[in-house]
Every structure is written in C-alpha cells, then in structure tokens.
Structure 1
Amino acid sequence: MYELDAAVTHAINGLAGHSAALDLLMIWISSIGVPLMVLAVAVQWWRGPDRLHIRHVLVAAGFSFLLGLGINQLVLLLIHRARPYDGGITNLLIERSADFSFPSDHATATFAIAAAFLVHGSRRAGLAFLAAACLVTFSRIYIGTHYASDVLGGALTGVFAALIVRAVYREGSRADRLITSIL
C-alpha cells in the first residue's frame, strides 16, 4: 500500500517544476485556501432570508472545523509519519514543516467545512466548498508537503467531525437559538 501511496504522491508532485506560474498558483492556493474558506463561511452570517438555518450551518461548520483539527492533534500523538520530502518522494516548493505529515490539517479543515454544509442540506454551497477542498488538498500534494494518504486521512477526519457535529448540535435547540441570534 505504501508503494501506491508514494507513487501517487510522486506523480502529483512530479507536475511541479514545469511551470513557474502553476507552481506559484499551487503555493498560493495551499497557503491561502483555508483562510479564504473560513472567510467565505464567516461572511454568510448576515446572508439571506433563511438566516437562522444558514447561521446554524455556519456554526456547525465552525464546530466541525475545530473538532476535526482537535482529532488531528490526538492522531498526531500516536502517529509520527515523516513528510514525503524527508523520504525523497517529493520535491518541496515551500519551507519545511516542523510537524508530522499524517493527517493533513488543511484537508481536515477544508473537508470539515464542505461536509458540514452538505450534511446540513446546503448542497450548492457544500459542493462549492467541496471543490475548493479538493483543490486545496491537491495543492498540498503538488507542493510536496503531504502524501496522498495524508490528505485522504485528513478528509476522512473532517467528514467524521462534521457527522459528529450533525448528530450532537441540533438546529433549533436552546444552544443553537442562543448562538444563531448573536448580531
């Protein structure tokens, strides 16, 4: 299985270095993708006629994001996977990272947002966020900082977090009414 993971990772990262413009675009997407997605979630707070439902989804996306990253921190206590550039699998286009490779926080964060929208019935926004999440996670492999399985693991963590939040944080509950009535 590692051979397949390394081969897929190497193939995607092998696209790097042929176009300076594409390299810069992938570096930019990798660095700004998560903050842009968080901003895209936050600016919707005052949107639309179904404001309370939208706010519920936005809060659920935030909780999913935080829970997913919290789960990652627990996983990182148990799994100490070296980065693919340390193993000679990829050529790194950015500065080295000080933490371990598995799971990808970028993948967890972006897929948690996308999954939260999808599981709460916001299909159109959810699919847009899903496309953005795929682009961000692809960029992480492209720039050489993650294995393909790192982003897959992160994506699964993000989806799992969104499902947990969906089960626990109920729309219309007392806590939901309190949070969604802010501003």
Structure 2
Amino acid sequence: MFELDAAVTHAINGLAERSAVVDFLMIWVSSIGVPLLVLAVAGQWWRQAERPHTRHALVAAGLSFLLGVALNQLILLFVHRMRPYDSGATHVLIAPSADPSFPSDHATATFAIAAAFLLHGMRRVGLGFLAAAALVTFSRVYIGTRYASDVLGGALTGVIAAFAVRAVYRQDTRIDRLVTGIL
C-alpha cells in the first residue's frame, strides 16, 4: 500500500517546478486556502436567504472544523508519520515543517467545511467548498508537504467530524436559536 501512496504522491509532486506560475499558485493556495475558506464561511453570516438555516449550517461548519482538528490531535498521539520530503519521496517547494505528516489539518479543515454544508442541504455552496477543498488538498501534495494518503486521511477526519456534528447539533434547539440569533 505504501508503494501506491508514494507513487501517487511522487506523480503529483512531479508536476512541480515545470511552471513558475503554477508553482506560485499552488504555494499560494496551500498557504492561504484555509483562511480564505474560513472568511468565506464567516462572510455568509449576514446572508439574507434562509437566514436561520444558513446560520445553523455556518455554526455546524465551524464546529466540524474544530472537531476535525481535535480528532487529528488525538490521531497524532498514536501516529508519527515522517513528511514525504524527509523520506525522499518528494521535493518541497516551501520551508519544511517539523510536525508529523498524517493526517493533514488542511484537508481536515476544508473537507469538514464542505461536508457540513452538503449535509445541511446547502448543495450549491457545499459543492463550491468541496471544489476549494480538493484544490487545497491537491496543492499540499503538489508542493511536497504531504503524501496523498495524508490528505485522504485528513479529508476522512473532516467528513467524520461533520457527520458527528450533524448528529448532535440540531437546528431550532434552544442553543441553536441562541447562537444563530447573535447579530
């Protein structure tokens, strides 16, 4: 299985350094993608269409993001995977990181947001966030900081977190009305 993971990772990372423009865009997407998605989510707080439902989905996306990253911290207690550039599987386009490779927090965060919107019936917005999540996670492998399985694992963690939040955080409960009624 590792051979397949390394081969896919190497194939994606092998696209790097062929175009300075694409390299710049991938580095930019990798570094600013998550903050831009968070701003895009937050900016919808004042959206007028279906305001209570939209706000509920926004809170669910935020909770999914936080739960997913918390789950990653639990996983890191047991899994200490070396970064692909440390093992010679990739060449890195940015400064190396000292933290373990699996799972990818970028993938967890972006897929948690996309899954939360999709699970709350906001298909159009959810698909937009899903496309952005795919681009951010692809960029992480492209620039050489993650194995393909690191981003797949992170995406899975994000989706699991969104399902867990969906199961627990219900619309029109007292707490939901309190939180979504702010501003």
What is the TM-score normalised by the length of structure 2?
0.99
In structure 1, the partner of 2:108 is 108
Q: 2:182 aligns to what?
A: 182
1:5 aligned onto 2:5: yes
Give the drift of 1:92. Answer: 0.2
| Equivalent position of 2:120 in the other structure | 120
Divergent runs of 4+, >4 A: none
Q: 1:24-81 deviations in whole A, cap 9, x for unaligned?
A: 0000000000000000000000002311110000000000000000000000110000
Sequence identity of aligned pairs in percent?
75
Separation of aligned partners in 2, 1:98 and 1:125 = 34
Report the Cα distance in structure 1 between the residues aligned to 2:132 and 2:76, rounded to whole angstroms: 25
Quick check: 1:15 aligned with 2:19? no
Indicate the residue corresponding to 1:35 in structure 2.
35
1:48 is matched with which residue?
A: 48
How far 1:98 sits from its partner (Å)?
1.4
Residue equivalent to 1:156:
156
Is 2:36 the partner of 1:68?
Answer: no
By how many angstroms is 1:156 displaced? Answer: 0.2
Unaligned segments of structure 2, at least 5 residues:
none
Aligned-pair RMSD on alpha carbons?
0.4
Deviations 1:93-120 (A, max 9, x none): 0001110000000000000000000000
> How many equivalent pairs are there?
183
Unmatched 5+ stretches in structure 1:
none
